[in-house]
């Protein structure tokens, strides 16, 4: 099938490359000419493990092309995916102007009936708005729209986006006609033949709600375990053991029960706000999600409180922060918890050094006064404390003796519970962990 993918950000580029890998002829369309030029030359706009090799392989095979000209991408496409950004407005609602422009682009340039597939995360009933935009554009051109709109939400995770797209745990398609469902089944059939997963066929509105409900639930699960962590700290218990025992119950599961700095990235914060706004527009006060947001904000304050308690004064101290990406496996710093921590430490007068394997270029303008260390050693050397903010493997695998050797004060704040606390303590290090009994303040500091 011939497929157009409008918007080649994280979701769009991954979708385009994986559809090409399944044998479809795909054109990635974006109005960012510099990004398209880079992709045409084989340069990736962001870090995503495995995606660069896949993009280059499919481009070389001739199944994947990129353009900033709609006339090169839209005509002849049986399916046009909308994968544009939906940033959050001040009131928490998503800005859907790019979605409307994408729909108008299809209506203007399509030469035959096209299935327009929402891949961007959008509020319920956006499909009806897209239908309206298609009809209005067709009317302006003196015709009528024969295009159909479906919802095909993505469930990829940054850092594992290729795997999640090629081997998903479900494919959700919402369509209101049998023809549209038939087109989408044919599109995904190579994947379904290769990989055993459910194909969830539903109507458009239900499919639109599935994505927001999924992300909001996962965010709530993270905030729940962070609330449990606060109780554990006060009771002298260990949240890791609590979470492990909870996870043995198949009704609960262990995934997303990792206490720490809370959720970040481009999806969970935006989707929780959007779902709150959607529910409010429909007349329902989704108070549980407001509490989820509050707990998430609170989680970001935990490491600063620990450092303040262990170091007493921060104004004359150097703190090494390991990791700025919102999670390992990506260079994405959007809503990254580490950024709030760095700002708070700087505001209290601490000298902050930061390191990240791939994300440092993305914080250059935000923290001009913060030292961006070229390697882990220079970040740690002589620091009064180290804060683990993103659990990259290279940090987790640091020998405890090396930490003890480099730090001026033996203070470790593990905000991801990723280090072996007993091994660190065996080297004379004082370790603060999330949801664990509070360590004593070191004498003489």
DSSP characters over 205-264: HHHHHHHHHHHHHHHHHHHHHHHHHHHHHHHT--HHHHHHHHHTSTTT-STT---SS---
- Of the candidates 18, 232, 267, 379, the residue annotated as catalytic is 267
User: What is the DSSP track for 212-226?
Assistant: HHHHHHHHHHHHHHH
* 379 is a catalytic site residue: no
At the fourth CATH level, which superfamily is domain 212-298?
NAD(P)-binding Rossmann-like Domain (3.40.50.720)
Domain 2-202 has CATH 3.40.50.720: yes
Q: What are 11's two structure tokens?
A: 């979701």
Mean pLDDT confidence for 243-263: 97
pTM above 0.85, yes or no: yes
Q: Which fold has domain 300-433?
A: Rossmann fold (3.40.50)
> What's residue 81's pLDDT?
98
**Domain segments of the chain as ranges:** 2-202, 212-298, 300-433
- Does the structure show a pLDDT above 60 at 442? no
For residue range 70-127, what is the model confidence (pLDDT) as tens digits? 999 999 999 999 999 999 999 989 999 999 999 999 999 999 999 999 999 999 999 9
When the pLDDT of each residue in the chain is averaged and rounded to a whole number, the result is 95
> What's residue 408's pLDDT?
96
pLDDT band of residue 177 (cuts 50, 70, 90) is very high
Q: What are 303's two structure tokens?
A: 């490491």
Do 300-433 and 212-298 have the same topology in CATH?
yes
For residue range 5-27, what is the model confidence (pLDDT) as tens digits? 999 999 999 999 999 999 999 99
């Amino acid at each position: 099938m011939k497929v157009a993918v409008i918007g080649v950000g994280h979701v769009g580029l991954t979708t385009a490359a994986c559809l090409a890998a399944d044998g479809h002829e795909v054109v990635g369309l974006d109005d960012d000419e510099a990004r398209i030029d880079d992709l045409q030359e084989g340069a990736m706009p962001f870090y995503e493990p495995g995606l660069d090799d896949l993009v280059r392989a499919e481009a070389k095979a001739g199944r994947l092309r990129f353009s900033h000209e709609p006339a090169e991408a839209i005509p002849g496409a049986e399916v046009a995916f909308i994968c544009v950004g939906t940033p959050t407005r001040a009131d928490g609602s998503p800005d859907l102007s790019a979605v409307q422009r994408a729909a108008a682009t299809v209506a203007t340039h399509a030469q035959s009936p096209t299935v327009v597939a929402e891949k961007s995360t959008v509020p319920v009933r956006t499909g009806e708005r897209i239908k309206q935009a298609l009809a209005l554009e067709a009317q302006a051109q003196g015709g009528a729209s024969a295009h159909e709109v479906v919802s095909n939400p993505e469930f990829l995770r940054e850092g594992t986006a290729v795997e999640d797209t090629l081997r998903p745990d479900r494919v959700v398609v919402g369509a209101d006609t049998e023809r549209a469902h038939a087109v989408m089944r044919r599109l995904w059939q190579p994947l379904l033949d290769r990989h055993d997963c459910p194909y969830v066929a539903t109507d458009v509105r239900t499919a639109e709600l599935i994505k927001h409900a999924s992300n909001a639930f996962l965010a709530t699960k993270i905030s729940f375990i962070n609330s449990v962590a606060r109780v554990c700290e006060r009771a002298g218990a260990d949240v890791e053991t609590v979470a492990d025992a909870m996870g043995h119950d198949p009704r609960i599961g262990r995934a997303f029960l990792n206490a720490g700095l809370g959720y970040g990235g481009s999806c969970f914060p935006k989707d929780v706000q959007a779902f709150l706004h959607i529910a409010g527009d429909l007349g329902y006060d989704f108070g549980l999600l407001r509490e989820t947001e509050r707990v998430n904000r609170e989680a970001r304050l935990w490491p600063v409180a620990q450092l303040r308690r262990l170091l007493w004064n921060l104004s004359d101290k150097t703190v090494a922060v390991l990791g700025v990406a919102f999670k390992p496996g990506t260079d994405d710093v959007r809503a990254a918890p580490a950024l709030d921590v760095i700002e708070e430490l700087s505001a209290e007068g601490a000298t902050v050094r930061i390191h990240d394997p791939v994300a440092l270029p993305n914080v250059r303008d935000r923290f001009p006064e913060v030292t961006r260390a070229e390697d882990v050693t220079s970040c740690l050397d002589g620091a009064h404390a180290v804060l683990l903010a993103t659990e990259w493997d290279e940090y987790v695998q640091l020998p405890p003796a090396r930490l003890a050797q480099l730090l001026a004060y033996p203070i470790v704040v593990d905000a991801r519970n990723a280090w072996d606390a007993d091994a660190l303590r065996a080297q004379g290090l004082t370790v603060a962990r999330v949801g664990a009994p509070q360590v004593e303040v070191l004498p003489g500091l």
